[in-house]
Amino acid sequence: MIKFIVTHRKNSLFFKTEKGAEVGDIIQSLIATCEQSGTNPIEYLAWIQENKAKAISQPESFLPWMLPN
Protein backbone atom coordinates (compact mmCIF):
# COMPACT_ATOMS: atom_id res chain seq x y z
CA MET A 1 0.00 0.00 0.00
CA ILE A 2 2.85 2.38 0.78
CA LYS A 3 4.34 1.76 -2.66
CA PHE A 4 1.03 2.78 -4.26
CA ILE A 5 1.05 6.07 -2.33
CA VAL A 6 4.69 6.84 -3.12
CA THR A 7 4.18 6.11 -6.82
CA HIS A 8 1.17 8.42 -6.91
CA ARG A 9 3.12 11.16 -5.14
CA LYS A 10 5.88 10.95 -7.77
CA ASN A 11 3.38 10.94 -10.63
CA SER A 12 1.48 13.91 -9.21
CA LEU A 13 4.48 16.13 -9.91
CA PHE A 14 3.48 16.01 -13.58
CA PHE A 15 -0.12 17.22 -13.30
CA LYS A 16 -0.59 20.44 -15.27
CA THR A 17 -2.97 22.11 -12.81
CA GLU A 18 -3.70 22.00 -9.12
CA LYS A 19 -7.28 20.93 -9.89
CA GLY A 20 -5.97 18.04 -11.97
CA ALA A 21 -3.80 16.94 -9.05
CA GLU A 22 -6.81 17.14 -6.72
CA VAL A 23 -8.90 14.92 -9.03
CA GLY A 24 -5.99 12.48 -9.28
CA ASP A 25 -5.80 12.32 -5.49
CA ILE A 26 -9.51 11.56 -5.21
CA ILE A 27 -9.35 8.80 -7.81
CA GLN A 28 -6.25 7.33 -6.18
CA SER A 29 -8.01 7.29 -2.83
CA LEU A 30 -11.06 5.55 -4.31
CA ILE A 31 -8.93 2.91 -6.00
CA ALA A 32 -6.94 2.25 -2.82
CA THR A 33 -10.15 1.93 -0.79
CA CYS A 34 -11.59 -0.50 -3.35
CA GLU A 35 -8.47 -2.64 -3.26
CA GLN A 36 -8.46 -2.76 0.53
CA SER A 37 -12.11 -3.80 0.62
CA GLY A 38 -11.65 -6.45 -2.08
CA THR A 39 -13.79 -4.60 -4.64
CA ASN A 40 -12.90 -4.30 -8.32
CA PRO A 41 -12.17 -0.56 -8.81
CA ILE A 42 -13.38 -0.52 -12.44
CA GLU A 43 -16.71 -2.13 -11.53
CA TYR A 44 -17.10 0.24 -8.59
CA LEU A 45 -16.46 3.40 -10.64
CA ALA A 46 -18.87 2.15 -13.35
CA TRP A 47 -21.51 1.48 -10.67
CA ILE A 48 -21.11 5.00 -9.31
CA GLN A 49 -21.51 6.48 -12.81
CA GLU A 50 -24.60 4.38 -13.51
CA ASN A 51 -26.22 5.57 -10.26
CA LYS A 52 -24.87 9.12 -10.21
CA ALA A 53 -28.03 10.87 -8.95
CA LYS A 54 -28.57 8.39 -6.12
CA ALA A 55 -24.88 8.45 -5.19
CA ILE A 56 -24.99 12.24 -4.83
CA SER A 57 -28.11 12.19 -2.64
CA GLN A 58 -27.13 9.11 -0.56
CA PRO A 59 -23.32 8.77 -0.60
CA GLU A 60 -23.30 6.46 2.44
CA SER A 61 -25.14 3.83 0.36
CA PHE A 62 -22.45 3.81 -2.33
CA LEU A 63 -19.30 2.88 -0.46
CA PRO A 64 -16.97 0.39 -2.23
CA TRP A 65 -17.85 -2.56 0.00
CA MET A 66 -21.58 -2.10 -0.78
CA LEU A 67 -21.19 -2.88 -4.50
CA PRO A 68 -23.93 -5.39 -5.44
CA ASN A 69 -22.76 -8.66 -6.94
Q: Tell me the three state secondary structure of residue 65.
A: helix
What local confidence, expressed as pLDDT, does residue 41 receive? 94
Per-residue model confidence as pLDDT tens digits over 18-56: 898 888 888 888 998 998 999 999 999 999 999 999 999
Q: Is the pLDDT of residue 69 over 80?
A: no
Is the Cα dihedral 57, 61, 66, 69 positive or negative? negative
Q: What is the domain range of residue 34?
A: 2-66
Specify the pTM.
Answer: 0.74
Per-residue model confidence as pLDDT tens digits over 54-68: 999 999 999 999 988
Domain count of the chain?
1
